Structure 1
Amino acid sequence: MSDDYKEKDNILEDIDKEKSEKENKEKDSYEEVCYICRRPESKVGKMLRIPNNICICSDCMQKTFDTINSNGMPYMDLMGLNPNMMNLNNIQKDVPKNQKLKKKKTEEERAEAPKTFDIKNIPSPHVIKGKLDDFVVGQEQAKKILSVAVYNHYKRVATDTMDDIEIEKSNVLMIGPTGSGKTFLVKTLAKLLDVPLAITDATSLTEAGYIGDDVESVVSKLLAAADNDVEKAENGIIFIDEIDKIAKKKNTNNRDVSGESVQQGLLKLLEGSEVEVPVGATSKNAMVPLTTVNTKNILFICGGAFPDLDTIIKSRLNKQSSIGFSADLKDKYDSDPNLLLKVTVEDLREFGMIPEFLGRLPIMFSLEGLTRDMLIKILKEPRNAILKQYQKLLALDEVCLEFDDAALEAIAEKAMEKKTGARALRAIIEDFMLDIMYEIPKDINIGKVTITRDYIEKKGVPQIEMRGSHYSNFLLEGNN
């Protein structure tokens, strides 16, 4: 028995040793942060370490000594070095992990490390579009434009220092009705390229000095997505949604702190510059460390629904075609579902976007409004289609779930009425699948369920087939 105990002790010691080595290695990969000024080691140089893992930079230490020499002790009180005021044991022992910065590689390490992006490893546009086709239905032109834009951007990142000709950055502006797949396209793209992605909302941004998030917070979110690794974040993608909400406010006498001012604040980020961003927070303050991020190689994709933009486009088109014998009728464009595809830069300027902002988004395209046929395809064709998800859930109960074509048409028609795009599909399916998901597990003899149009329209019941029998109709509880 003693040998068994010794063997167990040895195993436990090995586990503890391996765990401590892993923790030390992880700890060594992050920079130290000054307890007083919150600046990282890469900015202030080597720090002085005092008990309880507190690090202080030389500048703050010098200020402390200067204060002592001038018969004042506020810095001593702040650090807990005055025994009458504070105790070292009560001081925060370590910086929160979300505020720790990964150490930057040295020149030698950077030379030896494999390149983040190699031209040979960047997927070509047709490969990117093929992957997007697996997840996104329709929007062929949008997927083509986005694939080429991303491919060219990361070619630029890969060859930045290899040639005398500097390629300018091409940021993207996506315009499309709600539920047309703007955010989903970007998420799929980032997953395909395996780069950090930050999705942020323009509605929370305000001019510096006002309540809300500063424009630097969008870069701070990307840094968090890259696990506080600055070098990794500098090759990421930032998607700013609801970009139409920062348009210039019309007919207002108040300062436009969340409109034109935000557009002007974003100019330096879109063009590419070094900005100081807070680490582990969305606003700068004395207790949050700051780091410098270069946005030169960050791809910015902006998206928005731009409500009432179709009215501006319609007005422009009617004005152009309302003179002469070949004049068009004024209501010619009233029923055009894809009016946004005819958008121009002048239309966006009239909407409230400033010219300098639009000039930094050279690639601009619109997504098509979803038709009934597209909604039916969205239900059943993508790799993660919602019907496939429910079929998988019921397959785990050994039940086969099917939808007839009329039922899919009924779901698409209901979604069209809601006018919220593909988002409406989930709400509709959740509604009529509730009773089925509740009742089916009660009876282990049920083998197959077929959803019909009558059931979607609440005029009938689904078809249920028992194991080893023919189709028969059963009334599920809760359905009349």
Structure 2
Amino acid sequence: MLDNKEYLTPRQIVAELDKYIIGQKDAKKNVAIALRNRWRRMNVSSEIQGDIIPNNILMIGATGVGKTEIARRLAKVANAPFTKVEASKFTEVGYVGRDVESMVRDLVEQSVNLVKAQKNEEVKEKAAELVEEIILDILIPPVKSKSGFSVSSSDESTPTNEAELNEKTRERFREKIRNGELDDRKIEINVKAPAPVGMGMIGNGMMDESSMIGLQDMLSGMMPKKSKKRKVTIADAKKLLFEEEAARLIDFDEVKEEAIKKAQNTGIIFIDEIDKIASGSGKNGSGPDVSREGVQRDLLPIVEGSSVNTKYGIIHTDHILFIAAGAFHVSKPSDLIPELQGRFPIRVELNSLTKDDFYKILKDPKNALTKQYEALFMAEEVSLEFQDEALHEIAETAFAINEEVENIGARRLHTVMSHLLNDFLFDVPDVIQPNAKLMVTRDLVKERLDGLVKNKDLSQYIL
């Protein structure tokens, strides 16, 4: 049984998503239910647990309305391994059917990184102590007390032999290391030499990716581990040595086992541009459609549930949550093969963004564009502020350009904000000095953007 505290309730999940994504309540609600259902399945005590499969989700909506962000933020909320793949890449020249399995391998890789980070945190204190000892041994080599050697003194606090004196000196230096007083001092350390970068294909290049990776790992494991001396600052030495010491303290077999389990039970794979492999997105009956349908049929067993070989072991995809997305401007969901349609039973249509949505996107999210620019200017000790009327004007401008040229959703705000503030960013700190204050007003926005909105040639806004 999993602790209920580890998993948020659907309402709590939506509340977390609301901090970063504006609107799209229906999509948030469905992904929140899907995430909570994982906790419910893993807490089912009967044999039916293995038969409860996730309800995969198909998001339908134009570019820039939040499809990818919802999936990415969902994974962060759940602390789950996440990978994104564009379905259209599997239709490119040189496509091989087994390539679709690469997204599962990528997911396992992400899962391994998550588990390693968690294990590193668990051994952090112990590894830091070992690193301190290594650095101290370099700065002040320990000495063994010599038999019969002693220094008499009436003061009890005076060291009685060389070993005690050495130990007291080491303790003083230990404090200096912990306080960062010696961070700029250079020392020479032994570090593992980096592994060779790949060995190239063998024979006629017919080996698949997992076999190639497995062979490389096996051969690299047989080769003797080399180390080399490096002269680095103590600050850098702490980082380099910490990685090595933490790796020694962690059981990597346990990491692999946990990572596979985590990927199987909590992994999320986001398949973007799935509409590009639907039959309605190209000519009917021949040409590219053959490749598109082939990709769908290669995706099908993975989404249905199959076993995929990775360099960390075999992973079963039965309980991985798949979220697919597409604009479906040319094609429609029914153009996908029926078997694949059936594997995405939950369909959510995302709304196009309005002027009001643009205004909220600029103001409300924790990572709002305005807050990002404020942070960039603050790095130069320049204060940047936006008047509320200015935010409304920026939102209206972005919306108008989307209407006239091409609707790229919230991404339009990036180009508008860039055009608005690039001159200021160029002038800091040469012209605009530190401690200056910049106020973005409605008049300033109109002055810099109005002429471009009226100009029909808006090619510079097309990304």
Using structure 2 for the length normalisation, give the TM-score.
Answer: 0.59
1:240 maps to which of 267, 271, 291: 271
Distance 1:374 1:122, change over 3 A: same
Q: Do structure 1's residue 262 and structure 2's residue 284 form an aligned pair? A: no
2:6 maps to which of 121, 145, 159: 121
Aligned to 1:377: 360
Q: Do structure 1's residue 424 and structure 2's residue 412 form an aligned pair? A: yes
Which residue identity is paired with 2:271? Answer: I
| Cα distance between partner residues in 2 of 1:135 and 1:259 | 34
- Shift of residue 247, structure 1, vs aligned partner: 0.4
Q: Do structure 1's residue 409 and structure 2's residue 392 form an aligned pair? A: yes
Q: Which moved more, 1:387-396 or 1:161-170?
A: 161-170
Structure number with the higher helix fraction is 2
Which residue identity is paired with 1:436? Answer: F
- Shift of residue 173, structure 1, vs aligned partner: 0.8
Q: Is the 8 A contact 2:380 2:434 kept in 1?
A: no
- Shift of residue 260, structure 1, vs aligned partner: 1.3
| Cα distance between partner residues in 2 of 1:437 and 1:197 | 34
Distance 1:251 1:296, change over 3 A: closer
Q: Is the 8 A contact 2:269 2:322 kept in 1?
A: yes
Distance 1:230 1:127, change over 3 A: same
Distance 1:454 1:252, change over 3 A: farther
| Cα distance between partner residues in 1 of 2:263 and 2:434 | 54
Which residue identity is paired with 2:393? Answer: A
**Once the two structures are superposed, what CA deviation does each residue of 1:42-68 show, in whole Å capped at 9, x if it has no partner?**
xxxxxxxxxxxxxxxxxxxxxxxxxxx
Structure 1: any 5+ residue segments left out of the alignment? 1-114, 280-289, 310-346, 462-480
**Aligned residues, how many?**
295
RMSD after superposition: 2.7
Q: Is the 8 A contact 2:107 2:269 kept in 1?
A: yes
SS of the residue 1:234 aligns to: helix
Report 1:66-465 matches (<5 A).
117-156=2-41, 158-159=42-43, 162-164=46-48, 166-206=51-91, 210-211=95-96, 214-227=99-112, 229-235=259-265, 236-248=267-279, 249-254=282-287, 256-277=289-310, 279=311, 291-308=313-330, 348-349=333-334, 352-416=335-399, 417-418=401-402, 419-442=407-430, 443-444=432-433, 447-458=436-447
- Shift of residue 119, structure 1, vs aligned partner: 4.5
Higher relative contact order (CA 8 A, sep 6+): 2
- Shift of residue 237, structure 1, vs aligned partner: 0.8
Which residue identity is paired with 2:294? Answer: S
Structure 2: any 5+ residue segments left out of the alignment? 113-255, 451-463
| Percent identical | 41
Report 1:11-22 matches (<5 A).
none
Distance 1:212 1:357, change over 3 A: closer
Q: Is the 8 A contact 2:381 2:434 kept in 1?
A: no
- Shift of residue 214, structure 1, vs aligned partner: 2.1
| Cα distance between partner residues in 1 of 2:93 and 2:260 | 23
Distance 1:362 1:163, change over 3 A: same
| Cα distance between partner residues in 2 of 1:276 and 1:257 | 27
Aligned to 1:28: none
Which residue identity is paired with 1:363? Answer: I
Distance 1:122 1:244, change over 3 A: same
- Shift of residue 370, structure 1, vs aligned partner: 0.3
**Once the two structures are superposed, what CA deviation does each residue of 1:153-208 show, in whole Å capped at 9, x if it has no partner?**
3422x136644463232111111110001111111111111111111111112599
Distance 1:459 1:354, change over 3 A: closer
Distance 1:218 1:451, change over 3 A: same
**Once the two structures are superposed, what CA deviation does each residue of 1:7-26 show, in whole Å capped at 9, x if it has no partner?**
xxxxxxxxxxxxxxxxxxxx
| Cα distance between partner residues in 1 of 2:419 and 2:449 | 15
Which residue identity is paired with 1:373? Answer: D
